[in-house]
Amino acid sequence: MKTVLVIGGGITGLSAMYELHKWKKSNQANIRLILIEAESELGGKIRSVHESGFVMEAGADSMVARKIENMSFIDELGLEQEVVYNSTGISFIYTEGNLKPIPADSVFGIPASIESLAKSTLISAEGKVAALKDFYTKNESFTVNDSVGSFLEHFLGKELVEKQIAPVLSGVYSGKLSDLTIASTLPYLVEYKEQYGSIIKGLEANRQKFKGGERKFLSFKNGLGTLIEAFEKVLEDVEILKNTKVTKIKKGNSHYQIDLQNGETVEVDHVILSIPHTAAEKLIDDPELEKGFSGFKNSSLISVYVGYDVPDSILPADGTGFITANTDELSCNACTWTSRKWEHTSKSGNLLVRLFYKSSHPAFAQLKDMNNEELLQVALGDIHKSLGINVEPIVSEVTNWSEQMPNYLIGHPKSVEALENKFATKYPGILLAGCSYYGVGIPDCIENGIASAKKISQML
């Protein structure tokens, strides 16, 4: 009897196991399925916390709906009635002591009409005049391989980019605009400039496309943890070992030997390695792999939820959160008004907010070594300064994802391919999977988990 082991019970590992389990049933296959998870709970970067009528997420809070709706697992798991969608509203930029709305008719902060530019409260009259250069200047040198920051600044001016576009775009693509290429962010802008003579006009002419592509997000009434519980429940024919860390993988003549921290060993034929690359690289002693793993990097993120015994109507009407423009004003990069954006997260309609602290922020150097209580105090300071709220919270939840956020470098696909090839030749039957390599979004992880399971089932 063949044994398939999935290491890591995050969403990638669970969806891989879900697919293998389905395959086993429909083929009445005589295989042993084992899932090993180091922590006491499955879910990895998905974990919902329930307290005082609030739902808080330690990690991810939602999934891009368009991608999930094309998959079949919500129906298969019987979760249709549990699904909830986000409310949309105005996002603000916090700048110079004020919350200013990101103009409605804009794409990543780039005006999609002259009215949108004219009405912006984020930039000065001079900044608006400078942006008009976009209408009368031709693109003579920029290609998609140039920096998106220089391209936008050249045509739309420094002020518009710094005060309105960069806060949004840097947040979405996690990096300085000067370090990001047009190709890796908004490749169509060069085409628009060519075709319409202006970036703004190009966005205006393609408005429908952006409206249609408006990002709608999906979660569950009791939080994303519902998905993890549902997967776990259906995996009845799988040996699930929690609180069990894999410490080494050794290649034998016909099997792989898996060493566990509790001193036990398991012999298996196939392995899906759905753990972060930092954990995977410790499992096999092989200098060649070490080199392969060195092409991957992580960054850090701290999330702080704060819930109050105060109705969330105290915040500006229709608002759903803000992004910070100037790093010397607040320590956080962004603040989501969670109870506004996600009705299910606050049973009483009381205010729940979530602040994000990223390693790209200069203040992060001090934050990264703070304990949870100190981090909460920083968050309360930011909330007081930006939202004017200075009452005692009734709940809080701090999560420090230190060096655990995959950061795809230029050349990432090549690094993945090189590592895959090394595994295929030296360690056949072991597959890499998950957020370190194949996309960080939950739908990408699910797709990758399923694809990995299908590859394994073809080998069985």
Residue numbers at the binding site for ligand FAD (CB under 6 A)? 7-13, 36-39, 44-46, 59-63, 245-246, 274-276, 279, 301, 303, 401, 405, 434-435, 440-442, 445
Indicate the burial class of 353 (C-beta count within 10 angstroms; 0-12, 13-18, 19 or more).
buried
Helix (H) or strand (E) holding 446: helix 442-459
Among 164, 152, 141, 147, smallest CA distance to 200 is for 152
Long-range residue pairs from 414-422, CB within 8 A, at least 24 positions apart, any chain: 414/295, 415/292, 415/295, 415/296, 418/292, 418/295, 419/289, 419/292, 419/293, 419/295, 422/288, 422/289, 422/292
Nearer to ligand FAD, 120 or 336 (CB): 336
Q: Least separation, in Å, of the C-beta of 15 and ligand FAD?
A: 8
- The CA distance from 170 to 180, in Å, is 9
Q: C-beta of 162: minimal distance to ligand FAD in Å?
A: 26
Closer CB to ligand FAD, 332 or 435, in the complex = 435
Among 323, 331, 391, which residue's Cα sits nearest to residue 357? Answer: 331
Dist. CA 459–CA 141, nearest whole Å: 50
Hey, which residues does 218 pair with through a beta bridge? 63, 85
Q: Which is nearer to ligand FAD, 388 or 413 (CB)?
A: 413
The nearest distance, CB 414 to ligand FAD, in angstroms, is: 20
CB of 408 to ligand FAD, least distance (A): 12
CB of 166 or CB of 228, closer to ligand FAD:
228
Shortest separation between residue 305's beta carbon and ligand FAD, angstroms = 11
Residue 276 CB, nearest approach to ligand FAD (Å): 5
Pairing of strands 31-36, 239-241: parallel
Which lies closer to ligand FAD via its Cβ, residue 92 or residue 231? 231
115 or 264, CB closer to ligand FAD?
264
Nearest residue to 67 (alpha-carbon basis) of 206, 221, 215: 215
* In the complex, least distance from residue 44 CB atom to ligand FAD, rounded to whole angstroms: 2
Given the complex with ligand FAD, which of 39 and 329 has the nearer CB atom?
A: 39
Rounded CA-CA distance 163/365 in Å is: 24
C-beta of 280 vs 380, nearer to ligand FAD: 280
- Residue closer to ligand FAD, measured from CB, 105 or 286: 286
Rounded to a whole number of angstroms, the minimum distance from the CB of residue 326 to ligand FAD is 23
Q: How many residues does the chain have?
A: 460
Q: Which of 181, 200, 175, 112 is nearest to 142 (CA)?
A: 181
Q: Please, what is the minimum distance in Å from the beta carbon of residue 360 to ligand FAD?
A: 14
SS3 343: helix
Counting DSSP H helices and E strands in the chain, the numbers are: 20, 22
What torsion do the CA atoms of 418, 424, 429, 434 make, to the nearest 10 degrees?
Answer: 10
Angstrom distance (rounded) from CA 6 to CA 330: 42
